[in-house]
Chain A
Amino acid sequence: MTLVIGVGNPDRGDDGIGPLVARRIAECALPGVTALARSGDALALIEDWAGQESVVLVDAAMPNGRRPTPGRVHRIDLLAGPLPPGLALSSTHMLGVAEAVGLARALGMLPNRIVAYAIEGEKFEPGAGLSPAVAGALDEAVARVREEACALLAHPAEA
């Protein structure tokens, strides 16, 4: 089984990209793939992925120290090491995705495979929709997450 978790707040501009991708993946109804939208609370994420073979996280991100390229999609293998310091997965509050991964790693509660897709955003204002560049990246993000989810399903150990 592969679990896709779209993280973000649909009412905070580009932060809504994660849940939107998850909804599109859910609509694909891929056998063996489940998709959820989540706020990104670290402890809830750890609960969600407990016992899962493989997980794909989808989240909006802001680059640290440079201007964002809105809509740019990054793939990060979370088992390979800590999140790249140049990229902050954006959580509007609480402990976020980075903390969830760190805590699960310390507790030995990470899934066998866990990959994050981070989509650079530019606007996170309350009540705003996706910015045009991020909306334009939606299809690419869905296609890549879909491909990843299926690859993890086919080869859970070495994907």
Chain B
Amino acid sequence: MTEGPSRARTIRVEAIARVEGEGALDLHVRDGRVTRAHLDIFEPPRLFEALLRGRGFAEAPDITARICGICPVAYQMSAVHAMEDALGVTVEGQLRALRRMLYCGEWIESHALHVVMLHAPDFLGYPDAIQMASEHGEAVRRGLALKKVGNALMRLLGGREIHPVNVRVGGFYRAPTRGELAPMADELARARDLAVETARWVAKFPFPAFERDYEFVALRHAEEYPFNEGRIVSNRGLDIDPSEFDSEFEERHVAHSTALQSVLKRRGSYLVGPLARYSLNFDRLPAEVQALARECGLGPQCRNPFQSIVVRAIEVVYACEEARRLIAAYEEPEAASVPLTPRAGTGHACTEAPRGILYHTYTLADDGSIRSARIVPPTSQNQLSIEEDIRDVASAALDLADDALRDRCEQAIRNYDPCISCSCHFLRLSRHQE
């Protein structure tokens, strides 16, 4: 940073290393006003949609799982549901329950990693989880234990925890026996207690007083807290079937990002992820989880993005509960998958990845080969919202010194758990005269 005669300063974080996706922060301030807040994304285009063209419909879950090592289940779930929509098939009963259970595993491991290892150090003033561990060992051990249970559930249902191999269009390659699932129920009961302790721990963190009037967008189901099914709704009246995604949302190219930015056609930025899911579906949480949320200082809606860490912790509690409930009610299905007949058609699906809604649409030829594919991940939907958060967070914190201001902005980015691999701290700050 430099303070020139016109009191201009620039804060640039060149490489947000170890985020899944290569990004940088570019903040310009002139005469006490933020003039630019860009999240530059320079990750090379990955071309998955083109890669899918010409492949068989059955390959989509395994190919798209490779998009992310942290949330492969989200990619698999959106892929299989979109394909089933195209093929006119609905997967119900215990196979549906197993998919929900698998998603619980992913939420647990992804959220536990972010809450404890990546985000908590921001609030407690440590540069990373390793240094935090020497004084908050118990909390870190809880986080590791939670992640382990999430991984174990994914391994049990998916064959392995990273890029699971047991998911197929129509169901699974193999369904677990009751006996195989039974020990998981005990582990999940213990995990639930650890998750409750984690929620109480993060609830005590100091949160900057900051709220924004977001348009929250999430799935909403008639009875359940959403994973794989529901309408796409918002707090400003949006209420559509996933097949209508393109009538309300569009992806735009912006010069500073290789990721497309998704916006609501008529209203611009919106927010997906834990804050939106929670605020639109609080009434779908079991009473005891609602009570815990209140005890942790949350109302039925949460507009402070810094409190997303508390919401994630609450969602971990819910995912442990829900997986346990599903295991208790589990009966082995007669077949691990439903039969499918290839046909021409278009299918759409939206599911709730840990970071928010993930939309897939595919068009198939008569033989079931993929003619076109489109994938809209949560982080591209949140990109504009992240930039608006940085702008407002920075505007309210301009009295901070550069290092502190940079830290606050980084923290605002990490509120989103922007698709990970992110370890903790990594940023270079370049200072120059504007």
Contact = CB atoms under 8 A, between A and B. Distances in A.
A108 interface: yes
A38 B129 CA distance: 22
Interface in B129-156: 129-131, 133-134, 137, 140-141, 144, 147-148, 151
Interface residues of B, number: 20
A103 B129 contact: yes
A139 B129 CA distance: 37
A28 interface: no
B18 A93 contact: yes
A39 interface: yes
A79 to B, nearest CB: 17
A147 interface: no
A46 B144 contact: yes
A80 interface: no
Nearest to A102: B130
Interface residues of A, number: 15
B127 to A, nearest CB: 12
Contacts of A39: 162
A107 B423 contact: no
Given A93-B18, A93-B421, A47 B144 contact: yes
A43 interface: yes
A103 B113 CA distance: 14
Interface in A32-63: 39, 43-44, 46-47
Contacts of A106: 130-131, 133-134, 137, 140
Contact of B137 (A43, A47, A102, A107): A107
Q: Which of A46, A99, A102, A107 has the most C-beta atoms of chain B within 10 angstroms of its own C-beta?
A: A107
A42 to B, nearest CB: 9
Q: Which of B130, B140, B162 has the most C-beta atoms of chain A within 10 angstroms of its own C-beta?
A: B130
A103 B423 contact: no
Nearest to A106: B133
Contacts of A102: 130
B69 interface: yes
A108 B140 contact: no
Where chain A touches its partner, the secondary structure class is helix
Contacts of A99: 130, 423
A103 B423 CA distance: 13
A143 interface: no
B148 A47 contact: yes
Interface string A87-103: 00000011100010011
B86 interface: no
A43 to B, nearest CB: 6
B140 A107 contact: yes
Given A39-B162, A47-B148, A103 B69 contact: no
A110 to B, nearest CB: 12
B117 interface: yes
Given A47-B148, A102-B130, A103-B129, A94 B18 contact: yes
Given A43-B113, A93-B69, A94-B18, A108 B144 contact: no
24 contacts: A39-B162, A43-B113, A43-B117, A43-B147, A43-B148, A44-B151, A47-B144, A93-B18, A93-B421, A95-B117, A95-B423, A99-B130, A99-B423, A102-B130, A103-B129, A103-B133, A106-B130, A106-B131, A106-B133, A107-B133, A107-B137, A107-B140, A107-B141, A109-B141
Given A43-B144, A47-B148, A99-B423, 14 more contacts: A43-B117, A43-B147, A43-B148, A93-B18, A93-B421, A94-B18, A95-B423, A102-B130, A103-B129, A103-B140, A106-B137, A107-B141, A107-B144, A108-B137
Give 4 closest A-B pairs by Cβ, nearest first.
Answer: A106-B133, A102-B130, A106-B134, A93-B421
Interface of B: 18, 20, 69, 113, 117, 129-131, 133-134, 137, 140-141, 144, 147-148, 151, 162, 421, 423
Interface of A: 39, 43-44, 46-47, 93-95, 99, 102-103, 106-109
